[in-house]
Chains A and B, each alone.
Chain A
Amino acid sequence: MNSQLKLEKTATLLLEISSMLMVSGANTNRANLSITRFASVLKCKAFSMISHKTIVMTLTDDETGKSCTRVQNIPPYIINFSTISAISKASWHAIDQDWSINQIEDEINKIKAKKRYPKFVVLIAVSFAGAGFCNIFGGDYINMAVAFFSTLIGLFVVQQSHKRNFNVYIRTFLGSFFASSLASLGVLYNIGESPQTALATSILFLVPGVALINSFTDLFDNNVLNGMVRFSTGLMTVLAIALGLFTAMIIFHLN
């Protein structure tokens, strides 16, 4: 293969890998590490600038000294830890077995084709998590049932609005509004020992835990810009949650 063509192909592949990692919820350091690892397998050096929405990368061939610069936009973030795990594993296999570029490409396509957990499994699992939160904050079993169903409805609304391509913060607002409305009924009719707990925990499934944790790990790694961006998106999500909750509380006259 022509060396320039090969370089371009490598750059495209590496950008694809790093954007997959960012979308799946890896921190910036991990995305950088993975690029460096794969580049070393392909006998190249990669230097990249990773921001929240774009990756710029210059790739230099070790043998010919030629270089090539490419830019790629990062699609909307959908957290997927299986992808992170699979890419990490692939990078180690690639180093151990000295993979060629085609082998890496095949593996990445395989990882991309992997299915997520079915939607109803996620619904049930997250609803149990909501009930668990309610228990942790001192609700009794009736409160936990209220939290369970509020979370179920809230997450269902989020999933459906995701399917219809709503803006991410509108999605969060709608989810928070429907979940807290249902839990507000519990407060209104005084269901269970502490219905307030069910209301507070019904919206916790929306809390942007990964964004907030990653924001601080990025700040620790001195990726200050990405850290601040992640913190701001986390804050925006919290605001959307609060707005949904507040709207529900005004409608149901709760203070």
Chain B
Amino acid sequence: MDRSIFSLIEVSIWAGIAAVGFGILFNIPKKAIFTVFVLGLGAGLIKFILLGLDVNIIIASFTAAIFVGVLSMPMSHKIHQPPVVFSIPAVIPMIPGYFAYETILSIMNFTFIETDSIKRVELIDAIFTNSFTMFFILISLTIGVSFPMLMMRKNTVKNMYD
């Protein structure tokens, strides 16, 4: 692992802060703020530990999203909120914005700037790698968050723990 324990915890805390920041942008109820922070932090911790173990970023995001999906169910029952309220803000820090950025940048370079044919081939490679990574991370985040619901074939967590 190339990250020390301290930097791992620090980066996870920032992931939690990012989750809360987006939660406030989406106007989550005040009661849910702490839960969003914990879920965002936990998801960040899992993702960065897996990345440190050289796991593919798509698998790592998927695992972290499943963690959010599974944990958000008992939590939503406890504080009486529907699970989407904190599962979506918690996975927002994992949204592949950086890959989207790289994709668009490569496309723009390819279209407007680069003329050297070898470099253009490299750009095509970058466009495909980044855009497909982005696409698969998005799908895995969605499946991960809704995974418990899909498995239990239920539409609501109400009455599930009674």
Contact = CB atoms under 8 A, between A and B. Distances in A.
B81 interface: yes
A217 B142 contact: yes
Nearest to B155: A33
Given A33-B156, A84-B84, A204-B97, A132 B15 contact: yes
Max chain B C-beta neighbours (<10 A), residue from A85, A135, A200, A216:
A85
B129 interface: no
Given A126-B21, A203-B101, A212-B138, A81 B28 contact: yes
Nearest to B139: A216
B27 A136 contact: no
Contacts, number: 145
Contacts of B104: 238, 242, 245-246
A109 interface: no
B32 to A, nearest CB: 8
Contacts of B10: 135
Interface string A93-135: 0000000000000000000000011000110011111111101
A136 B80 contact: no
Contact of A212 (B95, B109, B155, B158): B95
Nearest to A200: B101
A31 interface: no
Contact of B21 (A29, A83, A125, A210): A125
A207 B21 contact: no
B98 interface: yes
B158 A220 contact: no
Interface string B78-92: 001110110011011
Interface in A202-231: 203-205, 207, 209-210, 212-213, 216-217, 220
A25 interface: yes
B27 A81 contact: yes
Contacts of B110: none
Interface in B1-55: 10-11, 14-15, 17-29, 32, 44
Contacts of A212: 95, 138
Closest 10 A/B residue pairs (Cβ): A129-B21, A132-B18, A216-B142, A132-B14, A242-B104, A125-B24, A135-B14, A129-B18, A204-B97, A125-B21
Interface of A: 25-27, 29-30, 33, 79-86, 88-89, 92, 116-117, 121-122, 125-133, 135-137, 200-201, 203-205, 207, 209-210, 212-213, 216-217, 220, 238, 242, 245-246, 255
20 contacts: A30-B84, A81-B29, A85-B29, A85-B32, A89-B81, A117-B24, A121-B24, A126-B25, A131-B14, A132-B14, A133-B18, A136-B15, A201-B97, A201-B98, A204-B95, A204-B98, A209-B95, A213-B88, A213-B145, A216-B142
